[in-house]
Amino acid sequence: MLKDRDFWYEEARAALRQRLSLAGQTRPAPRAKNVIFMVGDGMGVSTVTAARILRGQRQGRPGEEATLAWDRFPTVGLAKVSARARPERSAL
């Protein structure tokens, strides 16, 4: 079932309303004593998108509209690294 542009705009508005409604309800968090830092190697944008589509298809839907657990995290980061940081030949 194909969805039109208005459907996706309304989906985005609903998601934004839901997040904004939570913003005023949460109390400031106390200072963290520990941090859990997860590094997913090989989890680039295309791989995560493929996982999202697969999840949706396994649920009997087209796939693109599926969400993964971390899609609901309040903060998510993406870092791009390069192999260009190798030492110069003269440093060896």
Which residues contribute to the annotated binding site? 41
Which residues contribute to the annotated binding site for Zn(2+)? 41
Amino acid at 69: A
Amino acid at 9: Y
Strand blocks (E) in 1-92: none
Count how many residues are written for the chain: 92
Which residues contribute to the annotated binding site for Mg(2+)? 41
Q: Determine contact, residues 62/1, Cβ cutoff 8 Å.
A: yes
Q: Determine contact, residues 66/52, Cβ cutoff 8 Å.
A: yes
